[in-house]
Amino acid sequence: MENIFIAIVTDDKEYGRSLSLGMLNVCRGFIIRIFTAEEFLTVKKEYDLVLWDGNEVSRVYGGRIIYLAEKPSEVAKNLAEKRFSIYKYSTAASIVAAVFEIYEALTGRRAVNLRKQDVRIFAFTSCRGGSGCTTITMAAAQEICRFQGKNVLYLSFEELESTGEYMRNDAGIKGAAVYLYELFNKTYTGQSNIGTSTDCIPFLDKYIIRDDFGVEAFAPGYGRNPLRELNVGELNKFLASLIDSGRFDVILMDMGQWLSKTAIKCLELAEKIIVVNDMQRSGMRYDSYICHVMNNGGEAVMDKVIRVCNEKTGDMREHIEISSDDMDEETIMISRCDNFINDGKRISFVLEEGFGHDINVMVNAMVEP
């Protein structure tokens, strides 16, 4: 993306340093310098944005200023007067989201990423709820992000999203519903071709949250997941916008049990389909699920299937039910994860021992040519 030059003006150098490091951790497209008020007014250099921690100075310096408010009640967004203030103790992700929104309002310019040539898409699905599909998808995202150095988007198509159970959902991040509104009410065509203009793609930092390892996802909203409402045409446009944003190397779609026409389209678009089952799954249920996918997506879809069995309840490999039609398939076994950490706010797990090894095996099977 284009670099945005930002001056942070504060007499509290430690706060300025913490703020700049936090913002750079969220977005590498910033170039930030820290000044005291006296230093900045002496230099008088033009910056794209000025984050001002102190009394108002608009009469002294007429640049593009965002004031850093001491109290949430002092936050303001006046588009007519182009006067903005944000709460200085918000999370870095919330501040960055606000900065991009204000940047567009003040400058008329939009931050734009360069499109990547090759974005890999994988779908995770299951024939029944409670199989661990979301956990395995999130573990795969962390594996690819941490150990392969890729930029990964976790995309939840669950009816009621559980993303917030795995990632911190900061206030001020708008989520998929607003992203879709912005996308469909502007002129982005959704044509993923070389040379496609990305000017009308909403800039993703306003809508994205991250986990501790860099995996990104749309901030979860309240109620039904808006991605479930997409028709096939809207899905194509949505995924094209994510590809053309240039932000991601890999997109992982957590489909769960979803089997609408749009869900089948997701499976068709995916490079590989990871079908997750637990140890107590019904062979007949699995067969019915596969039959539905084949009837609606064609037999070619089945050539992409990687079958995964999640040992959530302990070592029960000898009790796996496999139908006669599936005996020649290689099933990847995922060991029980004994390193879940639930602090009452977020769930995290450790990619080590049997669980981590098996996730690595699954990911290698996914990404192999």
Summarize pLDDT for 2-22 with one digit per residue, the tens. Answer: 678 999 999 998 999 999 998
Residue 285: band (very low, low, confident or very high) from pLDDT cuts 50, 70, 90: confident
User: What mean pLDDT comes out for the span 174-188?
Assistant: 84
> Do 81 and 134 fall within a single domain?
no
Highest mean pLDDT among 125-129, 133-137, 327-331, 335-339: 133-137
What strand order describes the sheet that includes 30-35?
30-35, 4-9, 49-52, 65-69, 83-87, 76-78
Considering the domain boundaries, does residue 113 fall inside one?
no
b/e 4-29 (16+ beta carbons within 10 angstroms → b)? bebbbbbeeeebbeebbeebeebbeb
Residue ending a domain, choose from 107, 139, 162: 107
What's the pLDDT at 111? 58
CATH number at residue 217: 3.40.50.300
Q: d(Cα 183, Cα 314) in Å, to the nearest integer?
A: 45
Query: Within a 10 A sphere around the Cβ of 45, how many other Cβ atoms?
Result: 11
State how far Cα 165 lies from the chain centre.
14
CA angle 56, 62, 68 (to 5 degrees): 35
Residue 167 belongs to domain spanning: 120-367
> Do 71 and 214 fall within a single domain?
no
> Do 288 and 148 fall within a single domain?
yes
> Do 144 and 103 fall within a single domain?
no
> Do 144 and 233 fall within a single domain?
yes
Give the residue among 305, 357, 294 at the shortest CA–CA distance from 331. Answer: 305
Q: d(Cα 334, Cα 43) in Å, to the nearest integer?
A: 59
Considering the domain boundaries, does residue 114 fall inside one?
no
Residue 322: band (very low, low, confident or very high) from pLDDT cuts 50, 70, 90: very low
Considering the domain boundaries, does residue 220 fall inside one?
yes
Contact present, 27 and 49 (Cβ < 8 Å) = no
* % of the chain surpassing 70 pLDDT: 82
- Copy the structure tokens of residue 242: 């994510």
- Copy the structure tokens of residue 332: 């990847």
> Do 287 and 212 fall within a single domain?
yes
**DSSP H or E segment with residue 208:** strand 208-210
Considering the domain boundaries, does residue 12 fall inside one?
yes
> Do 43 and 83 fall within a single domain?
yes
Considering the domain boundaries, does residue 112 fall inside one?
no
What's the pLDDT at 58? 46
**Cα Rg of the chain, angstroms:** 23
> Do 172 and 251 fall within a single domain?
yes
* Mean confidence (pLDDT) of the chain: 81
Residue 51: band (very low, low, confident or very high) from pLDDT cuts 50, 70, 90: very high
Phi then psi for residue 60, to 5 deg, are -85, -45
The total number of structural domains that make up the chain: 2
> Do 245 and 339 fall within a single domain?
yes
> Do 329 and 196 fall within a single domain?
yes
> Do 142 and 261 fall within a single domain?
yes
> Do 336 and 360 fall within a single domain?
yes
